[in-house]
Chains A and B, each alone.
Chain A
Amino acid sequence: MTPALPSMLADNPRLDRWVNFTAPGQVAISTGRVEIGQGVLTAMAQIAAEELDVAVERIEIRSGDTDVTPNEGYTAGSQSMQAGGVALRQACADVRALFLNHAARLLGCTKAELTVHDGRILRAGEPTDHDYWSLATSVVLATEAAGTAPRKPLSEYTVVGRDTARLDLPAKLFGQPAFIHDMNLDGMAHARVVRQPNRGATLVSVDEEAIRRAARGQIAFVRDGNFLAIVGDNETAVEAAAAAATDHVVWRGAERPASLQQEATWLLQRPAVDRIIGEPAAAEPLRGLQTLEATYTRPHLAHASIGPSCGLAIYKDEHLTVWTHCQGVFPLRAALARALRLDPSVISVRHVQGPGCYGHNGADDAATDAAVIALQMPGRAIRVRWRRQEEFAFEPVSPAMVVKVRAKIDEAGHPLDWTTEIWSGTHQGRPGGGANLLAAEALPNPPPVPAPIDVPETVGGGATRNAEPLYDIPAKRIVHHLVTEVPRRTSALRGLGAMPNVFALECFTDELAERAGKDPVEYRLAQLSDPRARAVIERVAAMADWSAQQSRQANRGKGIGFARYKNRAAYAAVVVELEVEDSIRLLHAWCAADVGLAVNPDAVVNQLEGGMIQSASWVLKEQVRFDNATAGPIDWQGYPVLRFSEIPEIEIELLHAETDVPLGAGEATAGPTAAAIGNAVSRALGVRIRDLPLTRERIMAMLLAQ
């Protein structure tokens, strides 16, 4: 039976979409995956080098360009290795086989006699006259992948699985132009958008004279419907004008969220689309069983990328070219075509690296802003850079969630029946998904509001992600209320619903363990048969010297959290040790993870650790707060994040996995870390706090209430 093609290769079967030998001594590799700070391009180079048997230095990576690279949708969901890497690997194996077949014909030998060493073809280990580049003109790669070429066995790997230095890091350490913000196109104009406060708000008047005075330099206005932009040669003048503009434009129908809407519990009484996934609830109550229930909440979170979004565009010779740091150049091209009423064939979208991306931030919108202005100023390159205030106020936020967990437990304290009930806005507000681009809503005749959708369970779910515990529980179900009325545009942030769900599930599991008088680690292992899951929990317990924690110190505690991301990607168990006085001080964190094949182990560890730190920041500090005057925080004072002095020591171990199947790792630690902190706080204080963030105010209130 022919093996099924990896899905991304089935979507993009032409081999020359992935691999080309154009320049002598170089291999041009194309990937639809883009670098968003996670090191993906280095891993792709390793995969290609390994499977083609060439040195990594020969690989030239092209990524995220609608004109040349495969369409792999979004770089999201920890799918880059699991889907994209596996597709590239098979494409390279197929290409290598085509070259060896051709060489065998030329040499009059069998393919089995041939090997490749750094691109040169060897026969019985001896050099031949042939290499990839000399044969490139006679081997046709404009052909569909068969997907039948054998891949290199794991035991022969020399590049994949070895720590490899990030290809993109040197430019960033020496201050070279590395980011989209650093691009400088000929004759480029700078622009800022005076944002429509919300869909339906109407621009009544603009005091252009006052704004010009504030600019202290030449500026021009671009206006189309309720889309207003300030453009000029001098960025300083454009920025000054934009800063002043808010005081000199009048909007009708501007709405601001009220402060009471910042709490997750506000969602409980809103209209929603309801679903039940999993086993139906038992028709009869399970006799004699106790039912326990607890409700956990997490507020709206900001991506809060270190740099605000940026987009460039030029409309020339009836072709629109857009540069963006978004996660999906092909979906953005489709969304731009709809919003601007252009044919996709006249639009090229190219990815350029940006500041750290953890999901759907303002990048797509900034690119669209630039495109709208470029269409009004043909021939002129336009650069839009969002303001910090704009990024905080207008990027999509991760939706607040309420997670109610209900379990019927047996005499030993183990659940027999489990329900996770969730209230959440959508985690899928991407253009072309459940939402429109901001600029499209400001232009005349805005598109209708799409019906709210969430990420389907077949690709891991949105609000339902990780809502089902991995433990051996006879009956499990998820009740999902997709809340259709939310105070801010919501969309995908690292892990989507996984963090609030794992926080709820794993904190509740600790509550059940405590009730049963059992150690949290032993309690988990007693109802977990997946050997890889058991292994990470056992390992992290050993790393953290878990059993020694019976002698408890006052105000100090260790907590554990575990999840297999999406119940199908990487396994991660985390232990956190912390101290609580009136606020929380993180002392130490340990993580054991099984990510299957780690293409670049050091990069995986970097990602796992980054996920732990970001999650710790979410848990201890972060909440998008509304104050009736702004649509959220406008600066880092209003949205504090963890700083250097607050970071604990972290130790991470990757469990050895004898497999060539990579499991997505970038989002695996956020949920377990959140739960580990929640459980450690409960141990340290002797009181359970179920609402995030665990701020000083919340802890003080909890202690006073006791």
Chain B
Amino acid sequence: MTQTVAFTVNGRPVSVAAAHEQTPLLDVLRNDLRLTGTRFGCGLEQCGCCVVLIDGKPEKSCTRSIDSVAGCDVTTIEGIGTPERPHPLQQAFLEEQAGQCGYCLSGIIISAKALLDRDASPSRAEIARALDDNICRCGAHNRILRAVEKAAARLREGWRA
């Protein structure tokens, strides 16, 4: 029953032998590929902790079956920047100290990246709406919104992603 699925993660081609075709992408990322930056929150597509980009679109990975990403290009939080070369979003989140427990941040940064990729100048309200599928339980919302605004401004100024 083992299912071998080939796709791309953060620009690297991978081939994964999953237990079966319904194996959630999140389990494959965390347990097979040891990319634990994408967090498990609910497994019900309700909280946004597990959002990744699939062919550029923000998708919840907790219920997304592995066979459905065959041939796709998946981007996770590990793929958008590093401490040495942070993505402007990550840099802005650091500067704004945008987070408390930080468990929601991977999903939020990926959702924000998807927004900024399609709209370079979102209003504060549009950023908030884009993040409404992501729950932050600690109350760091305003810092997060400020950080996304800051990153958007810098990307417009030509900062490299």
Contacts and interface: CB of A to CB of B under 8 A. Distances in A.
Contacts of A603: 97
A607 B138 CA distance: 8
A343 B39 CA distance: 36
Contacts of B59: none
A644 B77 contact: no
Interface in A636-688: 636-637, 641, 643-645, 647, 649-650
Contacts, number: 175
Interface stretch (A82-90, A163-171, A435-443): A163-171
Nearest to B43: A388
A123 to B, nearest CB: 39
Report the interface size class on chain B.
35 or more
B100 A610 contact: yes
Contacts of A182: 30, 36
A647 B39 contact: no
B120 interface: no
Contact of B102 (A178, A641, A643): A178
B142 interface: yes
**Most chain A CB atoms below 10 A, which of B22, B23, B136, B139:** B139
A236 B23 contact: yes
Contacts of B83: 170, 174
A610 B131 CA distance: 17
A306 B35 contact: no
Interface stretch (A53-61, A197-205, A371-379, A611-619): A611-619
Nearest to B21: A216
Contact of B19 (A178, A237, A307, A636): A237
A36 B138 CA distance: 10
A370 interface: no
B161 interface: no
A165 B128 CA distance: 25
A614 B97 contact: no
Interface string A206-218: 0000000000110
A166 B97 contact: yes
A157 interface: no
B94 A636 contact: no
A170 B128 contact: no
A356 interface: yes
B103 interface: yes
A364 B15 CA distance: 38
A357 interface: yes
Contact of B138 (A176, A177, A610, A647): A610
B29 to A, nearest CB: 10
Contacts of A172: 99, 102-103, 105-106
B41 interface: yes
Contacts of B30: 182
A136 B7 CA distance: 54
Contact of B141 (A173, A388, A613): A613
Contact of A165 (B41, B97, B125, B138): B97
Given A179-B103, A184-B34, A355-B103, A304 B139 contact: no
A606 interface: yes
- 3 closest Cβ pairs, A-B complex: A175-B37, A37-B101, A172-B102
Interface of B: 1, 18-20, 22-24, 27, 30-31, 34-44, 46-47, 49, 76-78, 81-83, 86, 90, 93-94, 97, 99-106, 109, 125, 127-129, 131-132, 134-145
27 contacts: A37-B138, A165-B94, A168-B102, A169-B94, A174-B86, A174-B90, A178-B102, A181-B36, A181-B40, A182-B36, A217-B20, A234-B19, A305-B103, A305-B137, A306-B138, A354-B103, A356-B100, A603-B97, A606-B100, A609-B142, A610-B100, A641-B135, A643-B132, A644-B131, A645-B125, A645-B132, A647-B142
